[in-house]
Structure 1
Amino acid sequence: MSTSAIIAGALWMVALWRLPSIRHSHKQRSLALTLVALAAAMTFEVPQVKEAVDAVVGAEVRLAPLLKQLLGVTSAAYLLDFVIAVVRPQGLARRTRLIAAGVTLPFMLIFYALANWMPGGPVRLGEGRGALFPVLYMTVFTLYIGIAMVVSTWLFLGGIRHSRTLLGKAGLGFLGLGTLLGSLYAFQRIAFVTIQLSSGTEYPDLMNLLSTTLKQATVLSVAVGVCLPPLSVATEYVAAWFTLRKLRPLWVQLTEAAPYVVLATSVRRSRVPFRLERCVIEIEDACLALREYVSADTYTSAQQFVLPQAGNAQNADAVIEACWLRVAVQSARNRERLRGVEYPPLGVTGRDKVSELSWLRDVARAYLFSPIASEFARTELPSNIQAQGDSEGSLT
């Protein structure tokens, strides 16, 4: 199997994988059409496909190269549309881009039909009135590809710093590398044509080697770049699932004591990131509600109980949080809210999303498994309940 066949097959796999997303959004539609057009273009580089096309329409028509390059322009147009939708959602020169693509494709067809093609390559000058049209055809094609790739490279590489995930950054980097190689492909074609027309010197083997290498490297870089962001989404999904599993037992304990914080709307099990976000919100709401069952004195007692026994400061803070939460959960089942007292501070306050999840995982681990938190609850609860009984007796 030839290299071109392997690349075309890999591209079709990626294109068919992304094709269902065509209905999701404008940028997903542009990406899917980019991949389909690119896969179709590379298919016409497969020797068996070119031979089959030539057998149907005749080798002198040169239909396979025409279709390949028309599809190349189409894929470049959609790729530029995709990167603008990702990096510049407010838009960028939409009318100019439509006019450029709308002019390039018809001119390519016209120049191709009028060209007096000669054996040995698309830029060889023929004789008669059609002698210059092969050059005009390649000029229009190469200029569009080159400009589209340069602009795409600028946008892809400039958008790396805005991506929030490592795989997202890597995906944009590979896409930027692919379009940079596409720019080099266009520039080297222009350079060889210029040398040939100005001096009559030809380097067909070198030109074919560079063209093929740059073209295939471009396609592979774009394919890898397209695959990495979905992997980032999958990685985030798996991480959210694991975090949800770790937080769920804490959620059960806290919402049993404060069931009114649980939202009534059901969520599908497959929506793991949304379920995690909702779980975090309900845990924090439950903590806020349960503060009213303990006083700041309980928090101070927890500090005095935990700090001599705990290790690092972060773990100690999480254990302290778990201590007063355990007392609050038990108190919520046995007595009314405390009034006119200062409540414990919430450890989650003022954290960003990443540190918030890390903090809640530490608290959940301490709440469920820390012997210090269990011991504190056993020693603290009787005095709290007795204090509540004394308070009720004095009121009567």
Structure 2
Amino acid sequence: MTTPTLVAGSLWLVTVWRLPSIRHSHKQRSLALTFAALAAAMTFEVPAVRDAINDNVGIIGLPPLLKHLLGVTSAAYLLDFVIAVVRPQGLIRRVRQAALGVTLPLMLLFYALANWTPGGPVRVGEGQHAIYPVLYTAVFTLYIGTAMVVATWLFLSGVRHSRNLLGKAGLGFLGLGTLLGSLYALQRVGFVAVEILTGAGYPDLQNQVSTALKQLAILSIVLGACLPPLSVAVEYVRGWNTLRRLQPLWSSLTGAVPFVVLSTSIPKPRVNLRLDRCVIEIEDACLALREYVSAEVQERARVFVSEQGIPEEEVDAVAEASWLAVAVRSARTGSPLKGVEYPALGVTGKDRLSELSWLCSVSRAYRDSPVVAEFDHLEDVLTSHRSGGLERGSS
């Protein structure tokens, strides 16, 4: 299998993968059409396809023309995509539309007027019409180069605004790909200039440099486009894992105060929404349960946990789980307390990530720590002794 065949096949796989996203949003549609045009363009570099067109159509240079037209279209869609991502308010839309509307007809016009040399890629022709291949190459290169420079600036400027590491890496690889596309346009200008000024052409070297830059640019763009969806998958798995870790705490707390559970059901695939609801219900349950214990219980829990040799960074979470365990038992067997100071919740005043980390630590301690079970047992015994003393005093 030749390299062009492998590249074209890979692009078609990415195109098929991205095709369903056409109906999702403007930026997703632009990205899908970018890969569709790029895959079609690279298909004309496959030897079997190129030879079949040359043998059956009989028009010299038709595969390169089709490849270049599709390449310009792909660059236009890619620029549209990065603007939708980085500058959703838009950027010189009419200018971009006018540039594309002028470039494609000019390429067709100059192609029709030129006397292309047979065989190989499009290059400067000979004779009285030699200027038209130069103009054709100039128009194509100018559009590709300008589009890639603007896209590189937008992609790299958007890296710092991305919210996660994979998103930053994706924009970075996309920016690298468009930067290589800019170098591809620059080297084409350089080789044409050398041939015009000196009369010496280096078709083999030009072909090698063009192919290398083009393939590296495509590889970088494909990789950059694949990383953001991978980021979504990572976020999904992380959310599912966090939800699983919070489940024991949620089950116990809401079992004691079931009225905090919302009645609306959420589909299982909506992991992030289910996680948000789980956190809200845990916090509501903590607010309800704090009315069944006093602040003195919370303080005794902290002192008890500190005396058990628990690492300092885990003391707060284990103490929180300890008084919650007492509150759950009290809610199931008693009534809310009146005229006492209630415990302060440890989850308040935290940002989203800190909140999830804190609740996971509390859930782990609530489920696994023997210190929590021991403190709950001691508080149960203490409550029983107090109740027994009150009963004897009353008698």
With normalisation by structure 1, the TM-score equals: 0.94
Aligned residues, how many?
393
User: Structure 1: how far apart are the matches of 2:387 and 2:12?
Assistant: 71
Cα distance change of structure 1 residues 388 and 264 upon mapping to structure 2, 3 Å threshold: farther
Contact 1:310 1:316 in 2 (8 A): no
Give structure 1 regions of 4+ aligned residues with deviation exceeding 4 angstroms: 384-394
Measured against aligned partners, the alpha-carbon deviations of 1:133-152 in whole angstroms (never above 9, x if no partner) come to 11111111101100111111
Counterparts of 1:163-178 in structure 2, within 5 Å, are: 163-178=162-177
Pair 1:112 & 2:100 matched: no
Question: What is the CA-CA distance between 1:179 and the residue it aligns to?
Answer: 0.5
Structure 1 residues 389, 52: closer, same or farther in 2, change over 3 A? farther
Counterpart check, 1:352 vs 2:351? yes
Say yes or no: does 1:343 pair with 2:342: yes
Shift of 1:314: 2.3
Matched with 2:308 is 309
Question: Which residue in 2 is equivalent to 1:58?
Answer: 58
Distance 1:152 1:392 in 2: 81
User: What is the match of residue 40 of structure 1?
Assistant: 40
1:82 alignment partner in structure 2:
81
Structure 2 residue matching 1:342: 3-state secondary structure: coil
Q: Structure 1 residues 389, 134: closer, same or farther in 2, change over 3 A?
A: farther
Q: Is 118-127 or 92-101 further displaced after alignment? A: 118-127
Give the match for residue 363 of structure 2: 364
For residues 96 and 385 of structure 2, the distance between their equivalents in structure 1, rounded to whole angstroms, comes to 78
Written as runs of structure 1 = structure 2, the 5 A alignment for 1:208-357 is 208-357=207-356
> 5+ unaligned residues in a row in structure 1: which ranges?
none
The 1-side partners of 2:262 and 2:172 are apart by: 41
> What SS does the corresponding residue of 2:106 show, helix, strand or coil?
helix
Is the partner of 1:359 in helix, strand or coil? helix
CA gap 1:214/1:381 in 2 versus in 1, 3 angstroms: same
More divergent stretch after superposition (195-204 vs 363-372): 195-204
User: In 1, Cα distance between the equivalents of 2:392 and 2:75?
Assistant: 82
User: How much does 1:14 deviate?
Assistant: 1.1
Corresponding letter in the other structure for 2:299? T
CA contact (8 A) 2:114 2:125 kept: no
**TM-score, scaled to structure 2:** 0.95
Measured after TM superposition, the shift of residue 283 of structure 1 is 1.0
Q: In structure 2, how many angstroms separate the alpha carbons of the residues matched to 1:142 and 1:236?
A: 40
Instruction: Give the CA deviation at 1:83.
Output: 0.9
Matched residue SS, 2:90: coil
Distance 2:196 2:30 in 1: 37
Return the offset for 1:79.
Answer: 0.6
- Which residues in structure 2 correspond to 1:4-153 (within 5 Å)? 4-60=4-60, 62-119=61-118, 121-128=121-128, 130-153=129-152
CA distance in 1, matches of 2:187, 2:347: 57
CA pair 273-131 structure 1, distance change in 2 beyond 3 A: same
- Aligned residues of 1:331 and 1:381 also touching (Cα < 8 A): no
Cα distance 1:236–1:391, how it changes in 2: closer, same or farther (>3 A)? farther
Indicate the SS of the match to 2:122: coil
Aligned-pair CA distance for 1:316: 0.8
How many angstroms apart in 2 are the aligned matches of 1:284 and 1:297?
Answer: 21
Kindly state the Cα deviation for residue 385 of structure 1 after the two structures are TM-superposed. Answer: 6.5
* Shift in alpha-carbon separation, 1:342–1:8, aligned structure 2, 3 A: same
Deviations 1:57-105 (A, max 9, x none): 1142x22111111110111111111111111112111111111111111
Query: Which AA in structure 1 matches 2:36?
Result: V
The residue type equivalent to 1:14 in the other structure is V
User: What letter is aligned with 1:239?
Assistant: R
Change in 2 beyond 3 A, CA 1:142/1:218: same
Amino acid at match of 1:27: K
Whether the aligned pair in 1 keeps the contact of 2:107 and 2:136 (CA below 8 Å) is yes
Corresponding residue for 1:189? 188
- 1:335 Cα deviation after fit: 2.0
Distance change (3 Å), C-alpha of 1:280 and 1:127: same
SS in 2 for 1:173: helix
Give the Cα separation in 2 of the matches to 1:332 and 1:66: 78
Cα deviation code 1:119-139 (max 9, x no counterpart) = 3653323323x3311111111
**What is the rounded CA distance, in whole Å, between the counterparts of 1:63 and 1:393 in structure 2?**
105
Shift of 1:209: 0.7
Q: Which amino acid aligns with 1:15?
A: T
- Alpha-carbon displacement from aligned partner over 1:152-202 (angstroms, at most 9, x marks no partner): 111111111111222111111111111010000000001111111122121
Other structure's SS at 1:42 match: helix
State the distance in 2 between where 1:132 and 1:265 align. 71
- Identity of counterpart residues, as a percentage? 64
The one-letter amino acid paired with 2:50 is K
Match of 1:380 in 2: 379
Unaligned ranges ≥5, structure 2 = none
Question: 1:348 touches 1:359 (CA, 8 Å); kept in 2?
Answer: yes
Give the Cα–Cα distance (whole angstroms) in 1 for the partners of residues 98 and 311 of structure 2: 64
Instruction: Measure, in 1, the Cα distance between the counterparts of 2:136 and 2:279.
Output: 60
Q: Post-superposition shift, 1:386?
A: 6.7
Report deviation, 1:311: 2.5
By how many angstroms is 1:30 displaced? Answer: 0.7
Deviation at 1:49, TM superposition (A): 0.7
User: Separation in 1 of the partners of 2:389 and 2:162?
Assistant: 59
Structure 1 residues 315, 116: CA separation in 2 closer, same or farther (over 3 Å shift)? same
Question: Aligned-pair distance for 1:108?
Answer: 1.1
CA distance in 1, matches of 2:242, 2:391: 42
Q: Quick one: distance in 1 between partners of 2:145 and 2:386?
A: 80
Corresponding letter in the other structure for 1:3: T
Secondary structure (helix, strand or coil) at the match of 1:366 reads helix
